Structure 1
C-alpha cells in the first residue's frame, strides 16, 4: 500500500501532518512525531508579537492577536525568540528526515521580511503563515481586510523561494474569490481551516476570559465543503485541518481533494500513537475499496467529479430538507 503524497512539491511518506501545536515545539518533540510515523511536521508557531517584543522598535500600542495574547500569557515558559526559533529549525532538520515546516502567526507584512529569509536559511522545507486579521475596525471593508493577507503573502514570496502556505479562517465574504486572489498572488498551499481561542465571560468574577476551541464539531464540515469546492479549480495544494478524529475522516478529506490532513487536537487527546492508528485505518479502508495509492481516489468526490455536486452548495442543502418538519 502506497500512502505517499505530494504537498507543495514536498514528498510526504503519508498524508498525516502533525499540525503546529505544543507537541511540535522542540527538536525532541519533532523527532517523536517522526518516530510516530508523521508524514511531516509543522513547528509550533512563532508569533509576530514575539518579534515585536524582541525588536528595538517595539510599538507602544499593540492590537494584539487574541490567540497570541493567550499564548504569551499562559505559555510563557515556551516562549523563545525569533533567533532561537531559526536555531530550532536547523537542529530539527539535522535530526529528522521528514519535511519540517516553519509556522509564523502574523497580521501585518511589516515584520516578516528578515525572518522569512532567516527561516529559509535555517533549512525549513516550507513556511506556513497562520494569518488572522480581526475585523475589529468597523471602518475597514472586506476588501481592506483581504488586501492585508495578499500583501503579506506577496511580501514574503518576494523574499524566499521555499513554498508558502496560508492557514486561514473561513470568515470571508466570498471565500472562493479570496482563494483565487491568493492563488494569483503565488500561494503554494492552503490549510483549511484555523481555530481560535474564543471570548467568554466568567459570571462569578465578572471578568472576560478566553476559551480554547479544541472541540469544534462544525469545523470538519466547513473544511470538507470548501476543499471539495476548491479542489480541481485552483492550482493550489489543499490541506484539511480541524475535527479530524478518525481514519474515515482522513479518507473523506482526501476524497474531497485534500492532499494531506493536519492533526493536533487528536494528538493532545490520544497521544502520538494516534498517527499510526489513523494510517492503519486508512490502509484498511483503501484495501476494502481496492485502492493501492492515494492518487487513485484523491479528489474523486470534489465538486467537479462528484456525481452529486449539488451537495457542496448550500442552496441545494436547504432544498433537500424542504419536506422535513
Structure 2
C-alpha cells in the first residue's frame, strides 16, 4: 500500500504531519516523531514577541549608549531567539530523514525576512508562516488587513527559495478571493485552519482568563469545506489542521483534496502511538475500497469533482437535514 504524498513539493512517506507544538521543539523530539511514523514535522514556532521582548530589554539596558544599541541591533537576529532555533534545525536535519518544516508565528514582515533566510540556510525543507493579525484598529478595512498578509508573503518569498506555506484563520469575508490572492503572490501551500485560545470570564473571581480550544467541533468541518472548495481551483497544496483525531478525519480531508493533515492535540491526549493507529486505519480503508495509493482518491470528492455540487457551498439548514422544514 502506497501512503506517500507530496506536500509543498516535498516527498512525504505518508500524509500525517506533526503540527507545530511542543512535540517538535527539539531535535530529539523530532526524531521521536519520525520513529512514531510521522511523514513530516512542523517545528514549534519561533515567535515575533520573543524578538520584540529581547530588543526591549536590550534597549533598556543600553539606554545610555545609543551608539552601542545601534551596533547591536544590526546583529539582533543572531543574538536573540533565532540562534537556538537554527541549531535545532541543523541538528534535526542530521538525525532524521523526514522533511523538517520550520515555523514562524508572526504578524509583520519587518521581523521575519532575515529569519526566513537563516532558516533556509540552516537546512529547513520548507517554511510555514503562522499569521494572524487581530483587527484591533477599527479604521482599517478588510482589504487593508488582507494586504498586510500579502506583504508578509511577498517579502518572505523574495528572500527564500524553499517552499512557503501560510497557516490561516477562517476569519476572512471572501476567503476564496483571499486565497487566490495569496496564490497569485507565490505562496506554495495553505494550512487550514489555525485554532486559537479564547477569552473566558471567571464569574467567581470577576476576572478574565484564557482557555484553549482543543475540542473545537466546528474546526474539522470548516477545514473540510474550504479544502473541498479550493483544492480543485488553485494550484496549491493544502494541509488540513484543527481537531483531526482519527483515520476517518484523515480520509475525509484527503478525499476533499488535502495533500496532508497536521495533528497535535490528539498526540498530547493519546500519545505518539496514535500516528501508527491512524495510518493502519487509513491502509485498511484503502484496501476495502481497492485503492493502492493516495493518488487514487485524493481530491475525488472536492467541489470540482463531486456530483453533489451543493455540499460545500450550502451553509444553512435545509429541508433534507432530518426531514424537517
Same fold (TM over 0.5): yes
Q: Say whether the 8 Å CA contact 1:228–1:303 is kept in structure 2.
A: yes
Q: Which has the larger radius of gyration?
A: 2
* Superposed displacement of residue 316, structure 1: 7.3
Match of 1:261 in 2: 261
- The range that moved more, 310-319 or 97-106, is 310-319
Structure 1 residue 22: Cα displacement: 1.1
Aligned to 2:184: 184
2:95 corresponding residue in structure 1: 95
Q: Which residue is equivalent to 1:74?
A: none
User: 1:220 and 1:54 mapped to 2: Cα distance?
Assistant: 37
Distance in 2, Cα, partners of 1:30 & 1:307: 41
Q: After TM superposition, which residue ranges in structure 1, 4 or more long, deviate above 4 angstroms?
A: 56-60
The 8 Å contact of residues 101 and 128 in structure 1, kept in 2 or not, is answered as yes
1:138 to partner: Cα distance? 0.8
Cα distance in 1, alignment partners of residues 322 and 262 from structure 2: 36
1:307, CA displacement in angstroms? 1.3
Partners of 1:259 and 1:106 lie apart in 2 by 24
Q: Equivalent residue for 1:71?
A: none
How big is the shift at 1:58? 7.4
Instruction: Mark the runs of 5 or more structure 2 residues left unpaired by the alignment.
Output: 61-79
Compute the displacement of 1:317 (Å): 5.3
Any unmatched runs of 5+ in structure 1?
61-79
**In structure 1, what is the equivalent of residue 277 of structure 2?**
277
| Shift in alpha-carbon separation, 1:57–1:144, aligned structure 2, 3 A | farther
* CA distance in structure 2 between the partners assigned to 1:245 and 1:270 by the alignment: 9
Aligned-residue offset at 1:191: 0.3
Contact 1:254 1:299 in 2 (8 A): yes
Secondary structure at the residue paired with 1:318? coil
User: Which residue does the alignment assign to 1:53?
Assistant: 53
Name the SS for the 2:159 alignment partner.
coil
Q: Is the CA contact (8 Å cut-off) linking 1:239 and 1:258 kept in structure 2?
A: yes
Q: How does 1:105-144 map to 2 (within 5 A)?
A: 105-144=105-144
| TM-score of the aligned structures, taking structure 2 as reference length | 0.91
Distance (Å, rounded) in 2 between the aligned partners of 1:252 and 1:59? 51
Q: Distance in 2 between matches of 1:23 and 1:294?
A: 26
> What secondary structure sits across from 2:262 in the alignment?
strand
Alignment check: 8 A CA contact 1:311 1:317 kept: no
CA-CA distance at 1:81 after TM superposition? 1.8
Deviation digits for residues 72-101 of structure 1, max 9, x if unmatched?
Answer: xxxxxxxx8221111111111111000000
SS in structure 1 at match of 2:170? coil
Which residue of the partner structure matches residue 248 of structure 2? 248
**2:64: which partner in 1?**
none
Aligned ranges for residues 25-64 of structure 1 at < 5 Å?
A: 25-55=25-55
Q: How many residue pairs are counted as aligned between the two chains? A: 306
CA contact (8 A) 1:310 1:316 kept: no
Distance 2:319 2:159 in 1: 48
Map of 1:20 onto structure 2: 20
- Counterpart Cα distance in 2 of 1:315 and 1:155: 36
1:294-325 deviations in whole A, cap 9, x for unaligned? 00000000001001011111257535449515
Q: Report how far residue 173 of structure 1 moved.
A: 0.3
TM-score of the superposed pair, with normalisation by structure 1: 0.91
Q: Report the secondary structure of 1:312's partner residue.
A: coil
Cα distance in 2, alignment partners of residues 21 and 133 from structure 1? 20
Give the secondary structure class of the aligned counterpart of 1:262: strand
Do residues 214 (structure 1) and 214 (structure 2) align?
Answer: yes
